Amino acid sequence: MTEEQKQPTTKDACLALFAKMNDFNVKCVNIVYIPETGDLILNHTAGMLRHEIVGLMEAVRDETKK
């Protein structure tokens, strides 16, 4: 297989999926860890304000404490 025909990585697939999320009327923060490579991806949908990102992350934290 040549360099031009290289298969997309898991990280590439995740980033492509995140880009598609911007097509929907949703706001989300994505935290993804890929064990096989050790990659940590932090991502959010376009146009989110800082307080919205922090609020969603705090909601996740609070939900996991239950």
Q: What is the pLDDT of residues 27-64, one digit of tens each?
A: 999 999 999 999 999 999 999 999 999 999 999 899 98
Write down the pLDDT at residue 1: 54
Q: What is the pTM of this model?
A: 0.68
Report which residue type is found at 42.
Answer: L
Per-residue model confidence (pLDDT) at position 49: 92
> For 51-55, which contacts have Cβ atoms below 8 Å and span 24 or more sequence positions?
52/27, 53/29
**pLDDT recorded at residue 3:** 63
pLDDT over 70 (residue 2): no
